[in-house]
Chain A
């Protein structure tokens, strides 16, 4: 089956964290894989992420967090995704995410967690496998 349009991915930097090297590397890898990537830049609020996901009509919502605030951010984002009818979108989180937080993120509703050290191809394949 071929898709009518490329897979669209929103990549966001949540909260105040300014480390964006990883997000930009992932953005390039996803573009090379043929996806359309909308990168938000730094300092996104949960509301801004949900709005961008809605307006851009993305299939995937990706967050890159390296300064530790991933859990409280995802807790705030979850109800906004639900309210905006975005709970069917693939939701992934990457960055400095200690193993002890992976289950907590999954229980909030995150579908995939990709800590520092993840191979780019693994992220690409995960998205391809889940978005049809």
Chain B
């Protein structure tokens, strides 16, 4: 008889609150809901991937976040990234552009071109995308508060260059509800903000049906303190709120659901993250089929971008963030993402330099070219651990979504600052756990060292870039047809006041070279400005 040795193991609970066992068997999969939600790649409920062949057919799109200074600088960076093998663009705008201010607005001083490219008028988009084939390189616009104006500008720019807008692909972030939870580039109050998102979805469904007008972001909710299950659950509640807004207008769900997409965070445990995405894919498909009655499988696809995880990166020992980024890319590939925008190692300091963006790009290319990540679909599928955790994560998400509904829905919870207070309290607890050492961060609460920070090369901010931008704005103002500008702005105000879809008026206004600031002012006059509920 062998002598049994009793081994004590420390309990492990993942961030979403699920206890992790030292060993899994098929019985655990059965006990947590079985195999019903797994299916095959390309088939409902798409847990294993939205396409049958996934990366064997086409690797994920590589879309590093880029943009700074003025459109001339940014156009150069775009060409650099494309020359280095990037397959999509992910455009960063400066804060004035994101909250609807022109570059010469007093509030914009010191911020023009700082964290992204400054855009004032259609002229700037013409310069920024010069020489870029919009059929080959799809463009994602990271903008929310002023998204409707910038979508109008992008479509107008493409049309002017001779592209057929009905066939044009691209994405805009345009997820305003999460801006009230984290990131903070809101302009208008919650209700008209949601209506504006509805306007963009409705307009694109009719006029630019290949364009993705919304990328619903769990990403920033996670950055604000949500756990991985909450990240997905809140994002789904938000996406449902937008879908409901559009359905009210009489569109059929299959006319637009296929053009919704997601932007998710990636930092944390590899297993929890992979299970999170697999669970989310199945759950979204089920919601769209059972609750919304979609018929088109595309309407049930949870298409996503994932690769950013700023909250996981550290200020300490920044070069170690290169390795963290490599694991994040691995997670994203194992989870079956459509697009990656990998965070860069200098993110805790500033926006990426050309060098750090290239390292991120090469990290993704390594997985494709050397590591076999594109060889087979859903390589972790069938693992008893991963399938059990996928079932458990899905149950958690359902539970959180039911709580939101029971409390009056996401729009109410966001308007009253309740979600904000909840995730902020969690962020504080997490910070305390990091400081006490109970939540381990390498280089932060273990393996710390004295270091010379000068090793990090920073992206420089140049005041001259802002001056160039203001000169160019003045030149546009001086050369445009002022009567057309006034007529177009008057129509924006009138359509907003009448409560009709403002997109046609916005397209006319940007074509007349009205500026982001001028258009925003007219909309604010009708919609008002958001007042932040500061709750703890």
Residue positions of A touching B, CB distance < 8 A: 15-21, 24-25, 27-29, 31, 39-43, 45, 67-69, 72-73, 96, 98-100, 115-117, 119-121
Known A-B contacts A25-B424, A25-B428; A41 and B95 likewise in contact (beta carbons under 8 Å): no
Kindly state the separation between the CA atoms of A116 and B316 in the bound complex, as whole angstroms.
9
Give every chain B residue within 8 A of A20 (Cβ-Cβ).
182, 184
- Asked if residues B225 and A21 are in contact (CB atoms below 8 Å), the reply is yes
B110 lies within 8 A of chain A by Cβ: yes
Q: List 25 A-B contacts (CB under 8 A).
A: A15-B110, A15-B111, A16-B98, A18-B179, A18-B182, A19-B182, A21-B225, A25-B424, A25-B431, A39-B536, A67-B95, A67-B111, A67-B114, A67-B115, A68-B114, A68-B350, A69-B110, A69-B111, A69-B114, A73-B110, A96-B348, A96-B349, A117-B315, A119-B435, A120-B435
20 extra interchain contacts, Cβ-Cβ under 8 A, other than A28-B424, A41-B534?
A15-B111, A16-B108, A16-B111, A17-B184, A18-B182, A19-B182, A21-B427, A24-B536, A25-B427, A39-B534, A40-B534, A43-B107, A67-B95, A69-B110, A96-B348, A96-B350, A98-B349, A115-B315, A116-B348, A117-B314
Closest 9 CB pairs of A and B: A18-B184, A72-B110, A16-B95, A117-B315, A99-B453, A116-B315, A28-B428, A24-B424, A41-B532
User: Which of A20, A21, A98 is packed against the most chain B CB atoms within 10 Å?
Assistant: A21
Distance of B350 from chain A, by nearest CB (Å) = 6
Asked if B458 is an interface residue, CB under 8 A from chain A, the answer is yes
With a CB–CB cut-off of 8 A, which chain A residues contact B96?
A: 16
A39 and B115 CA atoms in complex are apart in Å by: 24
Task: Label chain A's interface by main secondary structure.
Answer: loop
Q: Do most interface residues of chain B lie in helix, strand or loop, or is the interface mixed? A: loop
Q: Chain B: residues with CB nearer than 8 A to chain A?
A: 95-96, 98-99, 101, 107-111, 114-115, 179, 182-185, 223-225, 314-316, 348-351, 424-425, 427-428, 431-432, 435, 444, 453-454, 456, 458, 461, 532, 534, 536
For A24, the chain B residues whose CB sits under 8 A away are 424, 427-428, 536
B93 to nearest A CB, angstroms? 11
- CB B147 to nearest CB in A, in angstroms, measures 15
Complex contacts, B351 vs chain A, CB 8 Å:
68
Please indicate the chain B residues that have their CB under 8 angstroms from the CB of A96 in the complex: 348-350
Chain A residues closer than 8 Å to B435, beta-carbon distance? 119-121
User: Could you tell me the distance between the alpha carbons of A24 and B95 in the complex, rounded to whole angstroms?
Assistant: 21
CB distance from B218 to the nearest CB of A (A): 15
